[in-house]
Amino acid sequence: MAYPVVLLFIFLYICCETFGQLAVPEQVHLSLANEPNAMTVTWVTMAPLNNNVKPVVEYGLSQTNLQFSANAQTNDFEYNGVHRYIHSVTLKNLYFNTTYYYQVGSTLGWSHVFHFKTFPQGNDFSYKVVIFGDLGNFNGVSMPYLQKAAMNGEFDLAIHVGDIAYDLHTENGIGGDNFTRQMEPVIAYVPYMVIAGNHEDDLKNFSNYKNRFVMPDNGYGDNQFYSFDLGPIHFLGVSTEYYGFFNEYGHMPVINQYNWLENDLKQADANRAAVPWILSYQHRPFYCSNENSEECTSFENTLIKSGFEDLPGLESLYLKYGMDLGFWGHEHSYERFWPSSGRQIFNQTSNPYHNAAAPTYIVTGAAGCHSGHALFENPPSPASASRINDYGYTMLHVVNKTHLFIEQISVEAGNQVVDQIWLSKDLQHAPKPDYAKTQQFILFPEPKVCNPRDVQCRGKYSHKKRNPASF
């Protein structure tokens, strides 16, 4: 009888050890919330917690005295038969401009102690943002540089403009787990704001993206579009994938986002005296000049920019309310454009980026992924001011209410700055159409290309009298 009892004891011990390891927190990351003095903390366990075990964030002003605690909510996320238990809580009423130390977990296991710093109060302070897109597990060239920069305190906020992990759903979600584990040295210390790219579609309506990340609430319960104020900038995260996948998921996500976006932009424009800059980030670009020109001139891109039938485009809305600056991914390169709108290029002054007549757009999809670089076509688009095909990321220095400084960092060149510009403006200036009419510009032609591989172009609208590619 003793031998079976020993075997049973060993079996139970191994099971308990394995369960305990699966209940240890991982993939810890931060994100901003709706309130300026709040921070959302999210983490994952690969096993459920017992009914009497609560997921908790313990936090405080000293690494050795985590005197506050907040219970988290748990989301049992199942994808292709694999369960992940995603815990999140928003820490509220934090002191401004203060370093907090925190750990996450439960009685079944705790994380390391991390830390973050809240932003100052008000809307006239400086900070730094790292912006990048299209970063994967394989060939993620920029990742170690981002990790080192985060540990050195070189930026205060991270924005990922889509195509996360390549892909979040790979191997039933293991790809997403591995990516977020690798990014933990960055995103457990600074807020990580994300937007969906085309690779986030997992054939289940972006379920991995929607369940893994908590973004500010937009009133629709949808984390694919949202906004927040930070200092002198109003940030907008916008989904281009509702356009790219409207055949699969219908028109209403496009309509809902557009209605929300117009209302949000209207309020932001009315608040320019306090928060003068409006900045958007999205995955797919309106413009680009890469060799795979189908990506830059296909129906999907013109649909996003200009709309078609009952699907409203985004560019006219950005122009109407004077959006200042936009960041895009999707193309695996860096490209900075002259201030441009409606195929008008406003670069006829000695400094087109001062009191710009149109939004300034930057493609920053060169962080590194399995598919490598995206080559450029020649000659470049006349709207293109700078093109760089090195792996790297973008740094936005928010200086004050009238000045922004942007740098492109090449990790291939040893973290060297390979492009930089100042954006400046007078208070209350906005690049709206009425102002643009008073400025000189040049035109660049509308492409007349319809991507033959594009289902929407080839099928859904092939019977229309009007050519959607001419929009």
Q: What is the tens place of the pLDDT at every residue in 41-95?
A: 999 999 999 889 999 999 999 999 999 999 999 999 999 999 999 999 999 999 9
Token readout for 204 is 């289940």
In the predicted model, residues of the chain with pLDDT beneath 70 are: 1-21, 292-295, 297-300, 446-471
Token readout for 196 is 């969906």
pTM: 0.92
pLDDT of 448: 58
Token readout for 404 is 């922004």
Task: Show the domains of the chain with their CATH numbers.
Answer: 2-117 (2.60.40.380), 127-470 (3.60.21.10)
Q: What is the tens place of the pLDDT at every residue in 8-35?
A: 444 444 444 444 567 999 999 999 999 9
pLDDT of 445: 75
- Residue 426's CB is within 10 A of a number of other CB atoms, namely 10
